Structure 1
Amino acid sequence: MKVRTLLLVLFILFIAGFVALNFEQILQPTALNFGFTEVLAPMGLVLLGMLALVLVVFLAALVYYQTMHLVEMRRVTREVNEQRQLADKAEASRFTELRHYLEGELQAAATRERTLSEQLHQKLEQVQVALTQAVEQTGNGLAAAVGELEDRLERQFPPQGGDRL
């Protein structure tokens, strides 16, 4: 129990005890002046009635303000939930846009990779053809040089008999 509630309960018990101890004096009739008339009534009972009336008015005001507070809290909670839903939708939309952007970039990268791969294969084929031609030319050049050397050797040293290398 909160300290404030405990103090309120103790105060109410104190007043109830005071009324119980002095109940005979509270019920003694007294001449009461209401401004326009005079009445013979118990002064203590009138004061207790006024205290009870003030307490009822106070409790009614408290209930009214608590109700208004709860209504306002529900309205604010509903607005917060709506804003949260809007934020979630916006975030989902951003994620969707990001996914589409990344998919497009990945497709573009794959296309560039295929293009570069094809160009690399073409260059490799060209290099292979050039290398094959260079090897053939080198082989032909060597064969011609070897043939020329053989001719010179045969001229300088003619073959004897039927020997041929």
Structure 2
Amino acid sequence: MKFRTVGMLLVLIVLAVFLIINWGALSQVTTVNLVYTEIQAPLGILVVGGFGIVVLLLAVYTVWQQASMMMELRAAYKEARAARQVAEDADKSRVAEIRTEFAARLDKLETLLTDRTDELLQMTRDRNAAFEKRLDALAEAQERRQTEAQTKLSDTLGELEKRVLAALPAPRAEVVEEAKKKEIFEDLF
């Protein structure tokens, strides 16, 4: 309990004890002046009754004040709950908006990455085709050079053979056989 409530209870208890102890004096009949008339009544009971009415009015006022405060608190609670709901909805919409924007950016990035990858693949294919053409040209040139070198070598060997044959006396049968070998060698190449 609050200190104020305890204090009020103590005052009421002391007042009740005082009334009980002095009940005899309070209940004696006296002439009471009410400004416009005079009456015969116990003054103590009139004072206690007036005090009781004031206490009752104060109690009613306190209850009314507490009830209005509770109503205000309830209204404030409802407003706070509504504001929290609005804030949560706003957060949800912001999260949804951010998620949508993120998905859009991710799609854009994926599209860009796919385009770049396609460009790189096309560039790689073009370079590969160019390298293959160049390699084919180099292979043809190498084959041509090899053929030319074989032809030169055959010509040089033929000239050397003629010189050797011309320089050496050879039997006739061997020369015929060598000529046949030469013809076979030339047929092979």
Q: Same-fold call, TM > 0.5?
A: yes
Bigger shift: residues 112-121 or 50-59: 112-121
Q: Report the CA distance between 1:75 and its aligned residue.
A: 1.8
Deviations, residues 27-80 of structure 1 (Å, cap 9, x unaligned): 112221111222222111111011101001101111111121122122222222
Match of 1:120 in 2: 120
- Normalising by structure 1, what TM-score? 0.89
Bigger shift: residues 21-30 or 153-162: 153-162
Match of 1:100 in 2: 100
1:5-16 to 2 correspondence within 5 Å?
5-16=5-16
Q: Report the CA distance between 1:150 and its aligned residue.
A: 2.4
Deviations, residues 103-151 of structure 1 (Å, cap 9, x unaligned): 2222222222222222222112111111111211111222222222223
Q: Report the CA distance between 1:158 and its aligned residue.
A: 1.2
- Normalising by structure 2, what TM-score? 0.78
The letter of the residue matching 1:148 is: E
Match of 2:168 in 1: none
1:85-164 to 2 correspondence within 5 Å?
85-158=85-158, 160=161, 161=178, 162=181, 164=185
The gaps in structure 2 that reach 5 residues or longer are: 162-177
CA distance in 2, matches of 1:3, 1:57: 21
Structure having the higher helix fraction is 2
Query: In structure 2, the residue corresponding to 1:32 is in which secondary structure?
Result: strand
Query: In structure 2, the residue corresponding to 1:47 is in which secondary structure?
Result: helix
Query: In structure 2, the residue corresponding to 1:40 is in which secondary structure?
Result: strand
Does residue 2 in structure 1 map to residue 2 in structure 2? Answer: yes
RMSD between aligned residues: 1.9
Return the index of the structure with the highest Cα Rg: 2
The gaps in structure 1 that reach 5 residues or longer are: none
1:76-87 to 2 correspondence within 5 Å?
76-87=76-87
Q: Report the CA distance between 1:157 and its aligned residue.
A: 2.6
CA distance in 2, matches of 1:8, 1:111: 79
Match of 2:66 in 1: 66
Bigger shift: residues 109-118 or 43-52: 109-118
CA distance in 1, matches of 2:82, 2:153: 104
Deviations, residues 11-35 of structure 1 (Å, cap 9, x unaligned): 1111111111111011112221111
Count residues with an aligned counterpart.
165
1:35-54 to 2 correspondence within 5 Å?
35-54=35-54
